[in-house]
Each structure stands twice: as structure tokens, then as C-alpha cells.
């Protein structure tokens, strides 16, 4: 039992890591202290007194013991790896574990628990870690429940902050979630409204394409949670229309996608407006060098949670079919596929194109052929994109033609088929595209058109197919299982020729592709 006469620890991360701490904490009790209580109960020793926490005045009700064997089996079954510099932090295997440790979570989960039997693996492991105050890196595929994995503990942390006089706390946001696309920011905002609406949490989505005046009006009226894309957020910061000086909890959602889209300078600028004593969590589908550098720069001694592996792999529930076709025959092939895959005219099918104009043309071709289709791409206004997305999501328009703006993060249920009309620029985008089907433990089919114009990606595609135990077409293997790469220059990549390039500029120029 803790010695009541001992002084309380300061709110430092080192005190949270200490497994031998014998004093009461100002912060919420760590999962390790909770696990210690469970062990006492299991050995029939006298139950410890209920301990009050500073983030709420609720007493913690100890749940039945969760054995080390049960935790190990849970992690094996769900491919969970935890890298922590300190004592292990056990997962909340079910909702009762979370509510027992943090009673205030119950209010936030009342609506959520009615739809799900137990937390997803990323939620089960990240909730206790984030609630204990650690910075967190979460590596998991899209569709794994990451939004509530960071949102629920973030709101608990926000509610634990001392209230400011004069209502200042309600005027300045406490939680900031950065997302790479406006669709993802809007979706996360909707999840927040649905999950925590009963707790009177006000949120706002700040992104380009939406009405700026409405966003500023919402901020001025007082919001606690901000979901934002970097560009519009910087615009509001620089105009003095939003103040981030009281952010206590920062989330970088789909961090690898933000770096792919060139947002690193914007992230760096936004960081300059945030307090240093914030808690930061970062979620990503991959763990490349760029993400590691980002984590080392902005996170403090983070705990890394990996669901699966660090490498991006194709979902095993998706059957991948690759068809080598001539470029001019793709429209005909697409129509034939839809006659087979879309006989009911009701099931959802997602058709991916590479460029905006290509997506618009394919949409018009489908409409002329009598298919009920819509599209999402960068040449559309945000109201048009939102209307198309909602129509596809509710099933009123079951065919959606989209660029890679729809390949990451968006929650589109019951997509039975994904058709890659044009192969993407990278193999990572291919994996994210086909991950739009086979979600929520369901199966799906991804059918890909591959042309001679894509032969440079044949080696990577063969590798992905073999790793997923999928059939590799002979026509695809003829392009070569591996592609010999030229020696790359730091600025110019493989296009650099050392024998002819004598005048090299000191700074590379940023190039924007017409893909969104």
C-alpha cells in the first residue's frame, strides 16, 4: 500500500515509468499499479483500499485479475508488439477492464459498446498506454479503429485538466487532430460527435473546401476538439482566428500519408504554436525512416504499439486478381467486370483511377453505359465530394470512381470489390487501395488492370502477391521479378547522370502531381 505520508511525485514521465514508486500519483494510476491490485485479489490477500485519482474524483473499481498468460495469448492472437522503455503496460482486453480502471470512460463508451463486443486490438493496447500519460506511436492498417483509439483517452485527459477562470478553457481547444485529407478530418469529426455527443464535447472540422466563416464562428463560440488539415489550420493561426496555446493532446493521424503529401514543413510550423508540455500520439500504417525521424523530433520517449508488422502488407482477407491488359481495352474490360461483379446493381464497388481527369472520364463512361455511378477527385468542390461520398456510403449510388484521395483512412463499410482501373504510383498506394475491401473481418476481391506502362512496378507487385499467397500471372512475371535501378542522386533520384550533370542546384524543387 502506498505510504500516505510520502510526498506526491511531480507529473513527469519518469515517475510513470517507475515500477517501484511507493507514493501516490497526481496523475491517474498507471496500468501497472492496477495490475498489482489485481494480483492481490487473485492471491486472496486483503483487498487494497480504493484509491482516488486527481483527474477525477471517482474511485477505481478493480476488475478480476488478467493473468500474464491471458495477455500473452491476446497479443499473439492479434499480432500485437509493444516496445516500451519501462514496465509493461497491459491491454484492456474488454470494455469492463477500461471502465474498471477509468470509470469516466464509461460515459464515452455507452453508445460505442452497444455496437461492438470488445475493443479492437489497437484500442485495447493503446487506451491504457495513452491514459497513463505516455506519448504513443501506433502502427496499424487503416480500418483498425484508430480514431477511437486516440479519441477516447484524449477526452479523458482533456477533462482531467484544471479549468481556467472566466471560461477560458472553453474558448481555446484542448485537443488537436491533424489529418492529411479533408475527408478524413471530416470523418473523424463525425466519429467524435457520435461517440461523445452525450458528454457535450464540441468539435470542429477545419479544412479547405469548407466554409471558412462557419469554421471561424465555431472556434469563436468555443470548441474543445479540432480536426484539421495543415493548410487551412495554418491560415487560421496566422490570421489570429484560432489559438492553440492550450492544446494538451496532439494527434498526428495517417502520419505517413501526410509526409507523402509534402506536409512536413506545415507540421513543423504548427508545432511552433503548440505548448511543449503536451501529450503527443502518432498513428501510421507504415514505419519508414521518415516516420521514425518525425517521431524522434516531436514525441518524448514514446511507447510503440504495432499491430501486425512494421512493413506494409496486403490484407490476407482480400483476394487479389491481376490482369495484364492493353491500355485501350480497359473501358471494355471494366464494363465486363461490372456485368459479373455488379449483377445485383446494389453491392458497393470502388473503382480507382490515378488522375483527376481520368476519374471524371471513367465516371461519364459508366453513366453512359447505364451504371449508377459517382466520383470523388480533386477537381470537384467539397460539397460535391461530400455528396458523392455520402451517396456511396449509404448505398444509394453503389459505384464510386475515385483517385487516391479515397484510398486512406476513410471508413466505407461493405465494399465488396475494388477495381484498380489504373495502377497507382507506388506499391504502398496499391496496398492501401485494396484495403478498402475486406474490412471488419470480412472478405473482399481486388481486381487490378496492369499494362506495359506499369512494368516498372511489376517486381514489387509480384512480391506483394507472393507474400499474400496469391496467384501471380505469367504475363506479369514476364516483365521481370525485379527491376534494376539506376544509381540515385540525393536531389534528382534515378534520373541523375553524373557524367553529364555538372551544375547541380543546392535545393530541390517541389513538384505537384495531378493525382488529386
Residues 174 and 283 in one domain: yes
pLDDT at 498: 41
Dump pLDDT digits (tens) for 246-263: 999 999 998 888 888 889
Residues 303 and 323 in one domain: no
Average pLDDT of the residues in 354-367: 95
Higher pLDDT, 57 or 417: 417
At residue 476, φ and ψ (nearest 5 deg) are: -70, -40
Number of separate domains in the chain: 2
Beta strand pairing call for 279-284 and 303-307: unpaired
Residues 255 and 350 in one domain: no
User: Residue 57 CB: number of other CB atoms within 10 A?
Assistant: 8
For residue 494, being part of any structural domain is answered with no
pLDDT at 82: 94
- Residue 235 sits at the vertex; the CA angle it makes with 230 and 239, to the nearest 5 degrees, is 145
Residues 78 and 145 in one domain: yes
Phi-psi sector, 426: left (phi>0), alpha (psi -120 to 50), beta? beta
Residues 289 and 331 in one domain: no
Higher pLDDT, 507 or 164: 164
**Helix ranges (DSSP H) in 343-435:** 356-368, 382-394, 427-434
Average pLDDT of the residues in 132-141: 91
For residue 359, being part of any structural domain is answered with yes
- Cβ neighbours for 254, distance < 8 A, ≥ 6 positions apart: 142, 179, 180, 184, 283, 284, 285, 408, 409
pLDDT at 336: 96
Domain around 368: 318-477
Res 166 pLDDT > 60: no
pLDDT at 315: 75
pLDDT at 7: 42
- Cβ neighbours for 89, distance < 8 A, ≥ 6 positions apart: 30, 31, 32, 82, 128, 129, 132, 134, 303
Residue 371 in grid coordinates = 451504371
Residues 349 and 284 in one domain: no
- Residue 210 sits at the vertex; the CA angle it makes with 206 and 216, to the nearest 5 degrees, is 50
Res 155 pLDDT > 60: yes
The structure's pTM equals 0.68
Residues 224 and 362 in one domain: no
For residue 397, being part of any structural domain is answered with yes
For residue 57, being part of any structural domain is answered with no
Query: What band does 197 get if pLDDT is binned at 50, 70 and 90?
Result: low
pLDDT at 33: 40
Nearest C-alpha neighbor of 306 from the set 127, 174, 126: 126
Higher pLDDT, 180 or 15: 180
Boundary of a domain, candidates 307, 339, 369: 307
High-pLDDT (> 70) share of the chain, %: 74
For residue 337, being part of any structural domain is answered with yes
Could you list the beta-strand ranges (E) of 47-119. 80-83
Report helix, strand or coil for 322. strand
pLDDT at 20: 37
pLDDT at 143: 67
Distance of CA 416 to the CA centre of its chain: 22
Residues 256 and 377 in one domain: no
For residue 253, being part of any structural domain is answered with yes
Res 44 pLDDT > 70: no
Task: Give the Cα separation of 436 and 419 in Å (integer).
Answer: 10
Give the CA distances from residue 326 to residues 122, 284, 329, 401, 474, in Å, rounded to whole numbers and listed in that order: 42, 35, 5, 20, 15
pLDDT at 64: 44
pLDDT at 182: 87
Res 435 pLDDT > 50: yes
Q: What is the mean pLDDT of the chain?
A: 79
Task: Give the Cα separation of 281 and 125 in Å (integer).
Answer: 13
Give the CA distances from residue 9 to residues 25, 300, 301, 436, in Å, rounded to whole numbers and listed in that order: 6, 19, 19, 47
Residues 278 and 409 in one domain: no
Phi-psi sector, 73: left (phi>0), alpha (psi -120 to 50), beta? alpha
Q: For position 424, which CATH number holds?
A: 3.40.50.300
pLDDT at 285: 80
For residue 423, being part of any structural domain is answered with yes
For residue 484, being part of any structural domain is answered with no
Residue 264 in grid coordinates = 512536413
Dump pLDDT digits (tens) for 75-134: 999 999 999 988 899 999 988 888 888 887 887 777 666 667 889 899 999 999 999 999
Residues 112 and 214 in one domain: yes
Residues 390 and 417 in one domain: yes
Residues 240 and 199 in one domain: yes
Average pLDDT of the residues in 354-378: 95
Res 381 pLDDT > 60: yes
> Which range, of 269-273, 388-392, 472-476, 495-499, averages the lowest pLDDT?
495-499
Higher pLDDT, 2 or 101: 101
Boundary of a domain, candidates 307, 335, 363: 307
Q: Which residue has the cell 495484364?
A: 324
Dump pLDDT digits (tens) for 251-298: 999 888 888 888 999 999 999 999 999 999 999 887 888 889 999 999
Amino acid at each position: 500500500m502506498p505510504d500516505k505520508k510520502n510526498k506526491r511525485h511531480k507529473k513527469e514521465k519518469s515517475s510513470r515509468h517507475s515500477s517501484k514508486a511507493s507514493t501516490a500519483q497526481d496523475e491517474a494510476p498507471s496500468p501497472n499499479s492496477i495490475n498489482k491490485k489485481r494480483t492481490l485479489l487473485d492471491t486472496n490477500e486483503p483487498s487494497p483500499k480504493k484509491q482516488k485519482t486527481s483527474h477525477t474524483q471517482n474511485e477505481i473499481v478493480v476488475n478480476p485479475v488478467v493473468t500474464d498468460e491471458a495477455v500473452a495469448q491476446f497479443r499473439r492472437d492479434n499480432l500485437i508488439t509493444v516496445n516500451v522503455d519501462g514496465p509493461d503496460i497491459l491491454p484492456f482486453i474488454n470494455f469492463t477492464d477500461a471502465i474498471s480502471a477509468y470509470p469516466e470512460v464509461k460515459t464515452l463508451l455507452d453508445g460505442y459498446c452497444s455496437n461492438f463486443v470488445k475493443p479492437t486490438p489497437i484500442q485495447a493496447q493503446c487506451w491504457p498506454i495513452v491514459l497513463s500519460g505516455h506519448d504513443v506511436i501506433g502502427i496499424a492498417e487503416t480500418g483498425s479503429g484508430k480514431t477511437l483509439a486516440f479519441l477516447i483517452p484524449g477526452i479523458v485527459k482533456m477533462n482531467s485538466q484544471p479549468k481556467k477562470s472566466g471560461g477560458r478553457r472553453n474558448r481555446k481547444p484542448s485537443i488537436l487532430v491533424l489529418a492529411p485529407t479533408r475527408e478524413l478530418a471530416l470523418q473523424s469529426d463525425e466519429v467524435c460527435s457520435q461517440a461523445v455527443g452525450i458528454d457535450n464535447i464540441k468539435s470542429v472540422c477545419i479544412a479547405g473546401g469548407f466554409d471558412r466563416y462557419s469554421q471561424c464562428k465555431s472556434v469563436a463560440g468555443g470548441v474543445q476538439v479540432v480536426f484539421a488539415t495543415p493548410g487551412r489550420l495554418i491560415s487560421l493561426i496566422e490570421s489570429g482566428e484560432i489559438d492553440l496555446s492550450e492544446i494538451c493532446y496532439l494527434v498526428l493521424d495517417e502520419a505517413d500519408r501526410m509526409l507523402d503529401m509534402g506536409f512536413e514543413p506545415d507540421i513543423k510550423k504548427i508545432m511552433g504554436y503548440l505548448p511543449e508540455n503536451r501529450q503527443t500520439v502518432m498513428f501510421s500504417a507504415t514505419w519508414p525512416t521518415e516516420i521514425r525521424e518525425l517521431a524522434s523530433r516531436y514525441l518524448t520517449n514514446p511507447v510503440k504499439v504495432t499491430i501486425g508488422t512494421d512493413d506494409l502488407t496486403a490484407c490476407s482477407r482480400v483476394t487479389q486478381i491481376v490482369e495484364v491488359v492493353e491500355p485501350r481495352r480497359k473501358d471494355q474490360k471494366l464494363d465486363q467486370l461490372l456485368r459479373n461483379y455488379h449483377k445485383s446493381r446494389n453491392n458497393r464497388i470502388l473503382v480507382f483511377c490515378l488522375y483527376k481527369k481520368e476519374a471524371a472520364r471513367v465516371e461519364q463512361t459508366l453513366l453512359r453505359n447505364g451504371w449508377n455511378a459517382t466520383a470523388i477527385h480533386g477537381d470537384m468542390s467539397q460539397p460535391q465530394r461530400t455528396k458523392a461520398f455520402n451517396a456511396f456510403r449509404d448505398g444509394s449510388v453503389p459505384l464510386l470512381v475515385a483517385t487516391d484521395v479515397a484510398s486512406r483512412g476513410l471508413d466505407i463499410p461493405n465494399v465488396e470489390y475494388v477495381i484498380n482501373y489504373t495502377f497507382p504510383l507506388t506499391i504502398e498506394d496499391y496496398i492501401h487501395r485494396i484495403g478498402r475491401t475486406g474490412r471488419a473481418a470480412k472478405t473482399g476481391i481486388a481486381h487490378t488492370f496492369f499494362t506495359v506502362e506499369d512494368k516498372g512496378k511489376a517486381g514489387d507487385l509480384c512480391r506483394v502477391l507472393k507474400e499474400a499467397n496469391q496467384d501471380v500471372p505469367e504475363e506479369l512475371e514476364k516483365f521481370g521479378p525485379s527491376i534494376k535501378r539506376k544509381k540515385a542522386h540525393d536531389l534528382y533520384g534515378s534520373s541523375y547522370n553524373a557524367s553529364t550533370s555538372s551544375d547541380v542546384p543546392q535545393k530541390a524543387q517541389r513538384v505537384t502531381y495531378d493525382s488529386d
